[in-house]
Structure 1
């Protein structure tokens, strides 16, 4: 039976990972691993077998050989990991699931902890961390919604992530925060031009929305595009005296981003992934993190159809197969 919702605390899931049969049932309930496979040759249901760390479906059906007094067993088998997040990795599912649990619940810096606790190399940890962020990116794209509407207030603000020195280096992002629902978005932008801002706002915020922003001149076009705009001059005040407008929520969001994303070992080219990780963990209750992550992984990397045949070693695989 598919799992619609479940609560998993950090220590309880780590303990579950050590009970292989229960872990497999959990992964099957979340559709990360297939629960059943029918043999494409004889259409009989295959038997799930564990061969060490290998998980396979084997057809054990026997049939008579025509014109001979012999029976023959169907020799079809397929990896249960085929097409899933485990496909192509040399790690066992216990280690991978424990890593995912640490990655979802642990705080920075965590690499040294993972190296010592899970006996994984730094290269493997980096690869799996990037892979998990890709799942977060895809998850957020699946649940993304347009903010605002008549009578709804959305705060917007841009921010740069990067290094400040003699020369500013980094990447600009535009964020939006809906006050009533606390829904939000953060998207990368190539520049701070009015055309770029307007393109993002049109795609992310509904007409008729009340938008609160700072006094950056690129926002001046919003009133002409079906939005009600109020501005706050942060150089003078946090709350505009004449309108009561403020952008405290979006300002707090950017403070949280800077506080939650580690500055150590961070690569600016991976900033979209770091932000996706931040938004995923912010949008999901801690007790549901593992459930939502596994369901997202199952949607993005569903088990492959056994009729396609056994995996081709030359084909690209979903998991970070370039490392042990």
Structure 2
């Protein structure tokens, strides 16, 4: 079994230079990250198969004697290198897949660049954006809660407004650790910001014992009864408590500012906002040089090369949650 990558570093331009036209290097990269199998066992002979790089496939081809005869027959087993993986069903080259993901993980992502540089059809670009979005959505669903005993967390909700012929509103609720900047974001598609909606989200994404800072929104009043230390700043009077400078929500406010700068581009539909937020948090969590590595590690977890689907469960944020394939409609 080949050794898997323990954490490579690739800048945006490094990836272009190394993998844009080199399928051999791209295939090696995908195998090192567990996206493609490093070996395959023939289910008939129970022995390793041979890899055919030119066809991206595995085959057995062993000759076995036929019982009670002098004849032999060749094992016909063969399978695509892509079977059950993130690349299953695609006609794209490995170099094209890595180049697409590399650009999708960039802040200035756009379809026109992909279509022009990688020679993609518009529908192919839309489809692959959805495949990438599913990986980051699954990653988001598997995140452990933030905070913990004595760890400071700021929470808040903000309103996104899309102006156009019809003005659209979307409330987003989130939290951020002050020290590590780990965060979570949840779109409130029903626009309900009551305690009935927000408290279960807080309990799901923030560990008990956390020190929570918020504004004076009434939905947060019962947090002390839910196992949290809760401090409130009334923004009508101050943005930082003059008696206790630690009581503020400036980190989450900065997060909102950054997120809204990202969301200025037109065309983001409300039903795709979970995809959008998952991508944002993914890029916010990892260093720029590490983000490609972590994406393909997660892609291998969601689509294991064995072809066996990842275990799904909705019982806790630590466990994988099954999700429907993201729509391929343009967002």
When normalised by structure 2's length, the TM-score is: 0.84
Which stretch shows the higher mean deviation, 295-304 or 181-190?
181-190
Equivalent position of 1:125 in the other structure: 125
Structure 1: stretches of 5+ with no match in the other structure = 307-316
Equivalent position of 1:7 in the other structure: 9
* CA pair 256-66 structure 1, distance change in 2 beyond 3 A: same
Equivalent position of 1:238 in the other structure: 239
Query: Over residues 98-154 of structure 1, what are the superposed CA-to-partner deviations in whole Å (9 max), with x where a residue is unaligned?
Result: 10111113514x21111110111222212211211110111122232242323x321
Contact 2:85 2:307 in 1 (8 A): no
* CA pair 6-130 structure 1, distance change in 2 beyond 3 A: same
Give the total of aligned pairs.
308
Structure 2: stretches of 5+ with no match in the other structure = 309-323
Q: How does 1:155-304 map to 2 (within 5 A)?
A: 155-163=154-162, 169-189=168-188, 190=190, 191-244=192-245, 245-304=247-306
Distance in 1, Cα, partners of 2:67 & 2:126:
55
- 1:247 CA displacement: 0.8
When normalised by structure 1's length, the TM-score is: 0.86
Equivalent position of 2:114 in the other structure: 114
Contact 1:173 1:186 in 2 (8 A): yes
* 1:149 is the counterpart of 2:149: yes
Contact 2:154 2:214 in 1 (8 A): yes
Distance in 1, Cα, partners of 2:6 & 2:228:
38
Which is bigger in relative contact order (C-alpha 8 A, separation at least 6)?
1
Which stretch shows the higher mean deviation, 221-230 or 86-95?
221-230
Secondary structure at the aligned position of 1:287 is classed as: coil
Q: How does 1:78-89 map to 2 (within 5 A)?
A: 78-89=79-90
Q: Which of 7, 13, 22 is equivalent to 2:25?
A: 22
Query: Over residues 171-226 of structure 1, what are the superposed CA-to-partner deviations in whole Å (9 max), with x where a residue is unaligned?
Result: 32211111122221112333111222221222222333322111222222223433
Distance in 2, Cα, partners of 1:212 & 1:101:
36
* CA pair 71-209 structure 1, distance change in 2 beyond 3 A: closer
Secondary structure at the aligned position of 1:105 is classed as: coil
Distance in 2, Cα, partners of 1:144 & 1:171:
25
Distance in 2, Cα, partners of 1:45 & 1:126:
37
Root-mean-square deviation (Å): 2.6
Secondary structure at the aligned position of 2:120 is classed as: coil
Distance in 1, Cα, partners of 2:81 & 2:267:
35
Structure whose residues are more often helix by fraction: 1
Secondary structure at the aligned position of 1:211 is classed as: strand
- 1:13 CA displacement: 2.1
Distance in 2, Cα, partners of 1:66 & 1:225:
71
Equivalent position of 1:35 in the other structure: 38
